[in-house]
Structure 1
Amino acid sequence: MACVKPSRRALLLGAGALAAAQAVSGPVLAAARNAPVDTPLRWLDGEKPARLEGATFGVPWPRGAVRPSQAFRLRSGDGRETPTQSWPIAYWPDGSLKWSAHAVTPDAAVEGLSILPGAPKAPARPVRVVEDGAEIVVASGDLEWRIPKSGPVLVSQASRAGRVTVQNLSLVALSQDKAELAPTGVVQSARHAVQIRKVTVEQTGPVRAVLKLDGVHSDGSREWLPVSVRLYFYAGAESVRIVHSFIFDGDPARDFIRGLGVVVQAPMTDESYNRHVRFSGEGPGVWGEAVRTLTGLRTRANPTPAVRSAQIEGQAVVLADLPEILRNDGLQWIPEWGDFTLSQLSPDGFTLRKRTSDGHAWIDSNAGARSRGLVYAGGATGGVALGLKDFWQRAPTGLEVRNAHTDAAQITAWLWSPEAPPMDMRPYRSANGMDTTAEEMVGLNITYEDYEDGWDDAHGVARTSELTLWALGATPSHAEFSAMAEQVADPARLTVEPARLHAAGVFGDWGLPDASTPIRQGLEGRLTYLLDHYMKEAEQRRWYGFWSYGDVMHTYDPDRHMWRYDVGGYAWDNSELSTDLWLWTSYLRTGRADLFKFAEAMTRHTGEVDVYHLGRFKGFGTRHGVQHWSDSSKQPRVSNVAYRRIYYFLTADERVGDLMRELTTSEEALLNVDISRKLPPAPGRAVPEGQVVSGFGTSWGAFIAAWLTEWERTRDPRWRDRILNGMNTIAGLKRRWFAGEAPFDLATGRYQGQGDYVGVSHLSAVFGVVEMTSELLDLLDVPAYRAAWLEYCRYYNAPPAEISALLGTVPPGRSLVEGHSRLTAYAAHQENDHALALRAWSEFLGRDAQSLRALLNARTTTVGGVDVLRPIEEDPQVSTNDAAQWSLAAIQNLALVGDSLEEAALRIGFTS
């Protein structure tokens, strides 16, 4: 993909915003005199959507430029105002607005939108939220939704102009006590309905209302599977967005989820020949049939072309327009089809079947590859559509309609289809004689798996799914239904240009693409190649599935032409070495829509599946492995908020906001999990009573991401003070950052002891601490910590003589030289040291122009025939650790010491 060049207008607007911010000092009210510039918005996919159900997005503002109470309005390219609702989601230390969130109505599906200061236009049909006894009523125009405050349903009904269109939106889980039926065994199954215990109104309009519903699943004798559901209502929309999150808290050995679904009823009042069912097919395709079809009949009974066409399009057919033989009781001989099922049991295929009713045979109707995940049942007077995002990517999934020939059709979106084998959360392996720590360490050195019996536990992992439910006044045409399916599969998003993001000064050290010289062209080309390669690999290797979609693999096996999906710690990546940050930082600078969606899927996965949300490991994540929970290394470096916060601020996504807030106390898990339990004793691990050992990079570096984000979101000074306590006490240790770890006081966030030892690890600075420290030092003035960090940056990659002069020894554990070149670059930039900048480039580029040229020009090769399952494009040299760290180093080095790049390239003989 070509480098994204920001428009001249965007650059000028960004420069103006920065100039306004830099010209301001003093209190926020003084800063607010400099009104924020008009900020252009763009649709992520490059053009306005065919259909919009409302949208929410975030916009950053330069420090000191916008007062926290600033109102915003939305203007289209032709100067018309469009309704918007705005609220703050982050603040700068001086109290000025850092990030604002904005919700827009379906009317915003236009080009040329801009956010600017001023009073917003009110929607013609605002969302209203009213408590009515045991229910909460959400209304907009003639559409009204009723949400009980507790009980077995999420929405009791939705009505349009007084007609009930939706009934009994609920959740269901099906379970069984064995993974499969043995020849002589019996499987016990159960159905678990939801029980909502708490409803919280989070927003009340006028453009957007949000309700959060918390509960559990129950079969009447047991409660499990905690669930949290958010309902999003937009003014003028016919739909509600549903964000469904659940936690697996069962026993993996006996609790097998056979089905997990969202269920709703549609009252069916039209004649059966005026009742319709729709399924989204491949791409824009639509499958649509009536409950009682009027096409394909024998000549005497066959209606006119106009009648047949009307039924196909979902329009009402009048009885008087039918042939006489049908009007005179002939309709009864045409079967009524009541049940319909679309099953997407793999990412490569779905089947579509129907039957007349329960107790009768299913009839195969059609099949295809990948459905976009939308179903409709209803008639001329109204109906219900229900869609599931990432439908084929999350297979096994399903959509079904039951009893469409009766007074109420039941529609289900299966997040896990009961037609598939049950969900199996058991460990993939047994101990196999690995009974001691010494044996576990031998195994680690062979398969790279940190195995420990009982620690490969799925209890506490979670998953979030996104759905859309429509209450429609009539059956949608095929074209309308296709546009709805597009919004389910690929929701329209508003955002701002990369230049505008950069101008606001958010997210640390990164810059816009620049391919103006041969070496820059080479680096940008390699950055693009790696991103394209991983997105292609997700498709080639089918990195899909309910629990796995969004993750990538760790290391390649060229002998098998496969990733090492079955080899211990080489399998699923689980954010190792900051893959998430690589993707999001790359998006910030390029604005690529495909990259945003790839990174979004990773954020949804890694923040939910790779992290424990209850139980003994709560707050920590799992190191890379064959299963996302199989490795015994549970650490905060995986649950790291640094990997979620960019997505949160770009989208204002409340679920990710919950996950980040959940981690503000994740350090408490150190009481349950001794991260260093398998390592030999070291001076820094002598722990006084009431304290725990905490590493500076992989642990504290993750904690400060949570605390900083919470401080930005709430302005609560206790989170800032907790960060400051850590910064000051690390700076006060004799070896400062080179101590690596120290006893940590959970109550205060202070490090303890003298820190008079050296403990260097190549992992300390590769899990987000570089990015978070850059932001912290921009926000907080702590000279002693700044000096300690700059010392670490200067000397980590330093020649042996230099680091020995500082520490009295050349410490082992210094590796990942290319990745750590960005530390050298940071010190060079901060200290204006040109020689150090050249050293940073030497560490990154190497000293061999020929090897560098080979790396920058590397491409995939085709492997086909009998050697592989299907033809693939292969690059056996790529590994995820290297790809993530090389890319982050390239981006940050270009931003920090880019003015030295050409000189550094010439020094090694790289000229073209």
Structure 2
Amino acid sequence: MPAFTRREFVKNAALAAAATQLVSSLRAADAPAAPALTQPVTRKPLPAGLAELHWLEGKTPAALPGATWGAPWPRGKHAKGTDFTLRSTGASGKSLPLQSWSLAYWPDGSLKWTGHALPADAPVSDGYELSAGTPTAPAKPLTATDSSDGIEIDTGLIKARIAKSGRTLIPLITRDGKEILRNGRLVLLRQDSLQAVGEPQPFSGEISEVVLEQNGPVRAVVKISGKHAVAPHGSSASAAASSQSSVARAWLPFVVRLYFYAGGDAVRMIHTIIYDGDEKTDFIRGLGVNFEVPLRGELHDRHVRFSGEDSGLFGEAIRGITGLRRDPGAAIREAQFAGQATPPLAKWNEQVTRNLQYIPAYNDWSLFQSTADGFTIRKRTREGYTWLTSAQGRRAGGLGYVGTPDGGVAFGLRNFWESHPAQLDIRGATTDTANVTVWMWAPDAGAMDLRGYHDGLGQDTYEKQLRGGLEITYEDYEPGFDKPEGVARTSELFLWLLPATPTRARLAELAEAVRTPPQLIARPEYLHACGVFGGIWSPVDVSTPAKAELEKQLDWYFGYYVKQREQHRWYGFWNFGDVMHTYDSDRHEWRYDVGGFAWDNSELSTDLWLWLYFLRTGRADVFRFAEAMTRHTGEVDVHHLGRFAPLGSRHNVLHWGCSAKQLRISTAANRRYYYYLTGDERIGDLMREQLEAARTLVKIPPTRKLAATRESADRARPKIESTSLAGLGFGTDWGSMASAWLTEWERTGDERSRARLVASMATIAKQPRGFFTGSGAMNLDTGAFDISTSDRVSVSHLSAVFGLVEVCAELVQLIDDPAFKKAWLDYCELYSATPEEQQSRLGTRLRGTSLRQGHSRLTAYAARAKGDNALAARAWDEFFGGDDNRESRAARLETKRIDGPAVLNPVDEAPRVSTNGTAQWGLAAIQNLALVSDSLPPR
């Protein structure tokens, strides 16, 4: 095959053709020429330099609070600083306002990923075309004025003031000169024991730093950081004096980002808290966002709304005038039900108007989602009087509203029921000002309990932990390591500042925007043609029965986990987004209570499987599932401050419970996909946290327990005394660091990150056995590894299954280092080679290799790079486990319905399916199809 540069291909061929040649860059420098193994799938050619976009859910959004997305470009296509223009597809082809910025660069400095924003008042189209050109200016450009005491945002429809100090984050938002929202702040309720007596202690968020990260003309982003401090006595956060023991310190750090779009009346909020308390004395009773809504007008013209399931809506007036003994008049009743201003009292039935004061008015309203399966709406006339149960349902939509014909606020919490317990409170609806709280943790649920789930069970030595706990429950326990120290939780909220009470249909549309915020995305063919994410995935191809069979199985596995999440209720504030690790067929239950078999915590790259599956399918349900997992695993499963920061925790009953604090869980490799597809700033923060993560390994060596056990001492990495050196494995550890450095270099052009990346690659290649040397001492400042003086071979079945394959595919594509490429290809080729070939090439037969099916994609990678048909055939043999294994594999995909007294609720189980196996099978299937599909044995 002739060698083409990426630039030459983009210049001389359409992007669809270029995509089929992308993996030719994987060819080893010294490999002989060979015919291509993969033939292109016939697809409609895509115009070079034009990104076609569509709405993720496949339909135009009825409510658009603004939209942000990421778009990739082929290497060399667009220079840094290129302007972009957006046009709607169809006959009109109208040019739309657009704001653009860079997300990542190719090594030649050209744009690799760009971020874009569409204003809230843009005409909505089924599709769009993004290309280089002069952007259209918004009809109402957004402006942001940054001064010493605050930031003023004007979207053209609303004006918001953001404070730079104090306890109030958003002092005021107006619309048409009217106050719509004021005194927006963060609230926290704390108690010092689980069953505390008396009122919880109130705290409120205190600002420490405010940064205007992006300043129009379409989109503005404001980042606010701080901690929660004791609320002043008499503040509205406390209904009564606290009887809890006083905690005067500021604690529970927060990071809040506020998003504004030109022409919009909505504010999007990304809210993150980081737990830094003592889980035995600092119990969170409530966590929320609080604000005030000025109310103008008569009580019968004030309205409350709560969304239910689908398009369902609860709606009532503060003082109802329907159902009375005396009829005020049809026009009056109809206006109130619709939320419109009722006719003047003179037009009412006089029998009603003279007795209005005897109709109860309801001051306080609450929607409480206690579980994933039930919510209750209540109201009361005022404090001290009983609550009435107004309605009940299963899964609330997370949207509320309070207001009048003269203005109001709709407020929403995304993943409301999925992240239970959640609560929406309205107080003071009969006064001049309603007080609203969106509770991410509902006070009515009781205190949050983050304590450990057992007392250690006598595991007070490394020997007992290794030979006891790990042996029987697969749990890696260590005293003091099961604390939620520095774990985080991110929530997404929306506020709409409205001129009047919307129609019920409009509120249902806003509720849908809360559930599934509008997201633009490029199609799989275009993403693949741009060469992003290493070229080791390809769009869905069912052109042969054998390929169609694998596509069907990929679909089955994803659908199975969607169903398992629902049937086993993998929901809750700290749990939503994760999946379980291993099934217990005796109990017909996932092993939620068995040590290391419970929550998966990204084990064996579940995140990567889901994201690569989305890239190739473009399915909205896959994106949303992967999105929830990225939010969870990046926040909850990682320590963001304290002793363990910024490492993640291995799988456990508690997400933070395992004493194995590891780079392979916190790795930026799991976050890159969502970041580049959406431009999400919080995910960007999480990846940047990892740049110096290896330094924590100096304090908490991953092999400390192995080194302390006599019989395992020979397997431990060398003890390193220097604080400038850390022992890293070349697989899970270095792969994670390489992902962080690569991402930072791509995002910013940071030369230090590139230098450390290049130095680490070069010194791995120089090791006596390359990747088979296994590990080394890395200089934390330069990234270079010490060169081992031993030619001993070391290999682990886990080295390549936590993102190493994916990051190496990108590094080989981006950095020209023939020695590193050869070292990586040697590893890919020899890991699953015959013992005889291993003996011939390495001087020894490998021990400890397993996960042969998952590693088949390494063989496929080497086959594609070398143009070796024999290796390609071997890859499929490893994948299928032998020619006679297809039928038994198909049997594993069958589910059995379990119901009746054997289970609490009916479940569909496939006992032979595990999350480890699913993730590795999925990645192997996806990557083998991309690399060696022509060698796939026929069905």
TM-score by length of 2: 0.91
1:535 equivalent to 2:570? Answer: no
d(CA) in 1 for partners of 2:376 and 2:592? 28
Q: Deviations over 1:361-399 (max 9, x none)?
A: 101111000011011111010011110000000000011
Matched to 2:141, the amino acid is P
Shift of 1:179: 1.0
Partner in structure 2 of residue 707 of structure 1: 741
Counterparts in 2 of 1:21 and 1:687: CA distance versus 1, 3 Å: closer
Query: Contact 2:105 / 2:749 at 8 angstroms: preserved in 1?
Result: yes
1:154 equivalent to 2:169? Answer: yes
Question: Which of 211, 216, 235 is the equivalent residue of 1:200?
Answer: 211
Q: Deviations over 1:470-518 (max 9, x none)?
A: 1110001100111001101111111010000000001120011112222
Query: Contact 2:15 / 2:48 at 8 angstroms: preserved in 1?
Result: no
Shift of 1:854: 4.0
- Secondary structure of the residue aligned to 2:920 is helix
Give the alignment of 1:806-845 within 5 angstroms.
806-845=841-880
Query: Contact 1:525 / 1:856 at 8 angstroms: preserved in 2?
Result: no
Matched to 2:420, the amino acid is A
Partner in structure 1 of residue 6 of structure 2: none
Partner in structure 2 of residue 95 of structure 1: 109
Query: Contact 2:736 / 2:804 at 8 angstroms: preserved in 1?
Result: yes
d(CA) in 2 for partners of 1:853 and 1:140? 60
Q: Deviations over 1:35-85 (max 9, x none)?
A: 953321111111101111111001100001111211111111221111111
Question: Which of 395, 400, 405 is the equivalent residue of 1:380?
Answer: 405
Q: Deviations over 1:422-460 (max 9, x none)?
A: 111111111121121111112201100001111111010
Shift of 1:336: 1.1
Partner in structure 2 of residue 563 of structure 1: 590
Query: Contact 1:600 / 1:647 at 8 angstroms: preserved in 2?
Result: yes
Q: Percent identity?
A: 50
Query: Contact 2:49 / 2:77 at 8 angstroms: preserved in 1?
Result: no
Query: Contact 2:328 / 2:352 at 8 angstroms: preserved in 1?
Result: no
Q: Deviations over 1:76-134 (max 9, x none)?
A: 12211111111110000000000011100122422231112211111111110113552
d(CA) in 2 for partners of 1:20 and 1:161? 56
1:131 equivalent to 2:146? Answer: yes
Query: Contact 1:178 / 1:187 at 8 angstroms: preserved in 2?
Result: no
d(CA) in 2 for partners of 1:87 and 1:253? 45
Partner in structure 2 of residue 582 of structure 1: 609
1:288 equivalent to 2:289? Answer: no
Query: Contact 1:17 / 1:36 at 8 angstroms: preserved in 2?
Result: no
Query: Contact 1:64 / 1:97 at 8 angstroms: preserved in 2?
Result: yes
Shift of 1:519: 1.7
Question: Which of 754, 761, 767 is the equivalent residue of 1:727?
Answer: 761
1:886 equivalent to 2:886? Answer: no
Partner in structure 1 of residue 391 of structure 2: 366
Partner in structure 1 of residue 228 of structure 2: 217
Matched to 1:727, the amino acid is M
Counterparts in 2 of 1:454 and 1:187: CA distance versus 1, 3 Å: farther
1:257 equivalent to 2:292? Answer: no
Counterparts in 2 of 1:321 and 1:479: CA distance versus 1, 3 Å: farther
Shift of 1:187: 6.0
d(CA) in 1 for partners of 2:383 and 2:21? 68
1:470 equivalent to 2:496? Answer: yes
Counterparts in 2 of 1:314 and 1:673: CA distance versus 1, 3 Å: same
1:865 equivalent to 2:880? Answer: no
Query: Contact 2:580 / 2:590 at 8 angstroms: preserved in 1?
Result: yes
Any stretches of 5+ residues in structure 2 without a counterpart? 1-12, 24-45, 232-247, 707-711
Matched to 1:15, the amino acid is A
Query: Contact 1:74 / 1:82 at 8 angstroms: preserved in 2?
Result: yes
Q: Deviations over 1:649-673 (max 9, x none)?
A: 0000000001111111111111221
1:84 equivalent to 2:98? Answer: yes
Query: Contact 1:21 / 1:65 at 8 angstroms: preserved in 2?
Result: no
Partner in structure 2 of residue 396 of structure 1: 421
Partner in structure 1 of residue 133 of structure 2: 118
Partner in structure 2 of residue 432 of structure 1: 457
Query: Contact 2:16 / 2:525 at 8 angstroms: preserved in 1?
Result: no
- Secondary structure of the residue aligned to 2:532 is coil
Query: Contact 1:17 / 1:62 at 8 angstroms: preserved in 2?
Result: no
1:505 equivalent to 2:516? Answer: no
Query: Contact 1:349 / 1:368 at 8 angstroms: preserved in 2?
Result: yes
Counterparts in 2 of 1:551 and 1:641: CA distance versus 1, 3 Å: same
Matched to 2:500, the amino acid is A
- Secondary structure of the residue aligned to 2:635 is coil
RMSD: 1.9
Partner in structure 2 of residue 337 of structure 1: 362
Shift of 1:189: 2.8
Partner in structure 1 of residue 185 of structure 2: 170
Query: Contact 1:199 / 1:214 at 8 angstroms: preserved in 2?
Result: yes
Matched to 1:120, the amino acid is P
Shift of 1:308: 0.6
d(CA) in 2 for partners of 1:83 and 1:459? 44
Query: Contact 2:22 / 2:531 at 8 angstroms: preserved in 1?
Result: no
- Secondary structure of the residue aligned to 1:279 is strand
Matched to 1:863, the amino acid is I
Shift of 1:16: 7.1
Q: Deviations over 1:493-548 (max 9, x none)?
A: 11010000000001120011112222212211111100110111111110000000
Shift of 1:698: 1.1
Give the alignment of 1:731-880 within 5 angstroms.
731-754=765-788, 755-852=790-887, 854-855=889-890, 858-880=893-915
d(CA) in 2 for partners of 1:617 and 1:658? 17
Any stretches of 5+ residues in structure 1 without a counterpart? 1-11, 23-33, 906-910
Shift of 1:637: 0.3
Shift of 1:590: 0.2
d(CA) in 2 for partners of 1:153 and 1:639? 33
Give the alignment of 1:667-706 within 5 angstroms.
667-679=694-706, 680-682=712-714, 684-687=717-720, 689-690=722-723, 691-706=725-740
d(CA) in 1 for partners of 2:585 and 2:148? 65
- Secondary structure of the residue aligned to 1:507 is helix
Shift of 1:144: 0.7
- Secondary structure of the residue aligned to 1:126 is coil
Query: Contact 2:831 / 2:846 at 8 angstroms: preserved in 1?
Result: no
Shift of 1:326: 5.5
Partner in structure 2 of residue 66 of structure 1: 78
Counterparts in 2 of 1:455 and 1:311: CA distance versus 1, 3 Å: same
Shift of 1:153: 1.1
Higher relative contact order (CA 8 A, sep 6+): 2
Q: Deviations over 1:605-627 (max 9, x none)?
A: 00000000000100100000000
Query: Contact 2:52 / 2:127 at 8 angstroms: preserved in 1?
Result: yes
Number of aligned residues: 877
Question: Which of 396, 416, 419 is the equivalent residue of 2:444?
Answer: 419
d(CA) in 1 for partners of 2:87 and 2:265? 23
d(CA) in 2 for partners of 1:76 and 1:808? 62
Shift of 1:208: 0.4
Question: Which of 516, 522, 526 is the equivalent residue of 2:553?
Answer: 526
TM-score by length of 1: 0.94
Query: Contact 2:777 / 2:786 at 8 angstroms: preserved in 1?
Result: yes
Partner in structure 1 of residue 267 of structure 2: 240
Query: Contact 1:14 / 1:499 at 8 angstroms: preserved in 2?
Result: no
d(CA) in 2 for partners of 1:618 and 1:188? 33
1:48 equivalent to 2:60? Answer: yes
Q: Deviations over 1:728-784 (max 9, x none)?
A: 111111111111111121121111132522221000000001000000000001111
Shift of 1:806: 2.6
Matched to 2:718, the amino acid is R
